[in-house]
Structure 1
């Protein structure tokens, strides 16, 4: 089964310039980053993620050995360079995670909290920058069904998780292979870090932090 795409699928219906996996603008074309996420590490005996771009090139990876994770998940680029580290906040009420640059353990960039408003059943998490300034994001939908959207200012969609459709007559992918569409307002590595947090909170296949 081939999990990476042969071509980009249609992006969100938003007139924006294209964005690379590092969040850069590409020539003013009106496209979004279309990533294929595989909930599997390429390394033997590891839990993790493997992420391909629209051309089928590896862009992100997560390789977590259960005995060595120490309560954190590291998002790396294709060469294995740490981009972001996701850690559960200690001594906090409810699910609360922090996203750090590289492998830093101080000065987190983003805080991700599980939404506890029982009257807003579609709300999953709230993402806020640490230290003030910057945009906040709210994620709504169902991660377990791989159908959720991250909204920014004025409820503008900035990222979307959606199921990946199999080719005609092909084998269904299930929930372990899915699309991540990222608009220019949000760096694709941050979008993938949010997906990792969603997987820790709502994933049905077991936490990456468990052996």
Structure 2
């Protein structure tokens, strides 16, 4: 099978840029027989990865950079009326756990995604997911919406005014041929942290049982 992009490593990741960024999201893990995804920038360099090994639709997922450093831990919260996923952010070198092995919840809570109830609705009529950002202590709260999230990992993220923040859709070749359902394009608008956007995309993939 042809490579989606050649495997290369970034010497230093840039998560915030002043120009639009385009990424390729390949819904495959680099780990043999693993579940997850691999993300490349427009130069074909590996920037993000998720490796769930032999567990699909796990309740705990790790978003890492190209070198395997932990960026976010995404948790699915149980026993909620609405589907809820929480993203915990950690400093470089922080494994995200205490000396007893317990996840450092609460202190590092960075974002939350709430899936709405969708009973008796068609897929093209599902309401957007609510995205809350800035949940850490003394942080300003920001609200976003994840639209068109139901199916194939595609989604559109907008701010509270409806302005586009990022969009994930099926990737097309330069000749206009649409690639397989496991190959997506993620376009992030200027001045947004694309590692954070990738955290939202991970939640979207989990909702749609893609990893």
Q: Structure 1-normalised TM-score?
A: 0.76
Pick from 23, 39, 64: which aligns with 2:15? 23
Answer yes or no: is 1:155 the counterpart of 2:162. yes
Give the match for residue 116 of structure 1.
Answer: 117
**1:43 positional shift:** 1.2
Change (3 A) 1:143 1:175: farther
**TM alignment of 1:1-211, pairs within 5 A:** 1-4=2-5, 22-26=14-18, 31-66=19-54, 71-102=59-90, 103=96, 104-107=103-106, 108-116=109-117, 121-129=125-133, 130-131=135-136, 133-168=140-175, 172-203=178-209, 205=210, 208=211
**1:122 positional shift:** 4.5
Change (3 A) 1:169 1:97: closer
Name stretches of at least 5 consecutive residues in structure 2 with no aligned partner.
Answer: 7-11, 91-95, 97-102
CA distance in 1, matches of 2:83, 2:30: 28
Aligned residues: 186
SS in 2 for 1:198: helix
Does structure 2 retain, via aligned residues, the 8 Å contact 1:143–1:199?
A: no
CA distance in 2, matches of 1:68, 1:4: 24
**1:66 positional shift:** 3.1
SS in 1 for 2:29: coil
Give the match for residue 99 of structure 2.
Answer: none
Change (3 A) 1:21 1:135: farther
CA distance in 2, matches of 1:47, 1:76: 14
